[in-house]
Chain A
Amino acid sequence: DAMVIQNPRYQVTQFGKPVTLSCSQTLNHNVMYWYQQKSSQAPKLLFHYYDKDFNNEADTPDNFQSRRPNTSFCFLDIRSPGLGDAAMYLCATSRDARGRGLQGTQYFGPGTRLTVL
């Protein structure tokens, strides 16, 4: 089945130690997103890739970076995690194509729960 996969599902890191979260998709969607979701809050968009174009939200800290080496994969790098970065990180994809259909619908992965010690 076509899907969005996130690895690992649970990640523990130490304060200040760089960490990378992975997302892959078999949907062949051209847009990929990273969200941060803290407990009992709505997902907060960090950035997205529209094809190869990187789009950063204005309030996303510089500590967060992303890479998209190809259509299928996208990585979230946290250069120096702080205690406040502990959260669920959600990856999503969508297809932006001219015309109607499923345009705009985002499909989410299961998330990676990050713990910072």
Chain B
Amino acid sequence: AQTVTQSQPEMSVQEAETVTLSCTYDTSESDYYLFWYKQPPSRQMILVIRQEAYKQQNATENRFSVNFQKAAKSFSLKISDSQLGDAAMYFCAYCRVPDMRFGAGTRLTVKP
């Protein structure tokens, strides 16, 4: 079974600084998708960024970028120029359609 591991239960970053959230996963498949979802206190899960395993290029979405290392099965999220609104729970997820598995989450605090 596929497992997703987020080794950092909590992280803290100063406003305007950069923070990296770690994620590793275990799979024997070669074709899959990886995601980072954000869950603020309102509890709505919001898609942050998506990566297709067959693409070597790392995905970017404005201030959010990933470092995807397929051989190492690593998928970290970098948040640049952190803002107060980035404070939330961040979940890494592995998807082999239609099945999605989430990591335990990392709670990100942004200090003004």
Instruction: Kindly state the separation between the CA atoms of A78 and B47 in the bound complex, as whole angstroms.
Output: 28
Which listed residue (A45, A48, A90, A104) contacts B45, Cβ 8 A?
A90
Which residue of chain A has the shortest Cβ distance to B96 in the bound complex?
A: A104
Query: A104's contact among B46, B97, B103, B105, by CB below 8 Å, is which?
Result: B97
Residue of B nearest to A108 (CB): B45
Assess the B44–A42 pair: CB atoms within 8 A. Answer: no
Given the contacts A104-B97, A105-B35, A42 and B45 also touching, CB distance less than 8 Å: no
CB of A88 within 8 A of CB of B95, answer no
- Size band of the A side of the interface? 20 to 34
Contact A48 B98 (CB under 8 A): yes
Kindly identify which residue among B50, B98, B99, B104 contacts A42, using a CB–CB cutoff of 8 Å: B104
Q: Pick from A94, A106, A108: contact of B44, CB below 8 A.
A: A108
With the chains together, A73 CA to B97 CA distance in Å? Answer: 20
A sample of 28 cross-chain residue pairs with beta-carbon separation below 8 angstroms, ordered by A number, consists of A31-B97, A31-B98, A33-B100, A37-B43, A40-B105, A41-B104, A42-B104, A43-B45, A45-B99, A45-B100, A48-B98, A55-B98, A92-B45, A94-B98, A103-B33, A104-B50, A104-B95, A104-B97, A104-B100, A105-B50, A106-B47, A108-B44, A108-B45, A108-B46, A109-B44, A110-B43, A110-B44, A113-B43
> What is the CA–CA distance of A92 and B100 in the complex, to the nearest angstrom?
11
Q: Does A75 contact B (CB under 8 A)?
A: no
Chain B residue at minimal CB-CB distance from A32: B98
Interface size counted on chain B using CB atoms at 8 A: 23
B positions within 8 Å CB-CB of A: 32-33, 35, 37, 42-47, 50, 52, 91, 95, 97-105
- Flag if B103 contacts A111 (CB, 8 Å): no
**Given A42-B102, A105-B35, A105-B50: A96 and B44 interface contact (C-beta under 8 Å):** no
Q: A41-B104, A42-B104, A100-B52 are in contact. Are A111 and B43 (CB under 8 A)?
A: yes
Q: A110 vs B104: C-alpha distance in the bound complex, in angstroms?
A: 19
Bound-state CA distance A7–B8 (Å) is 34
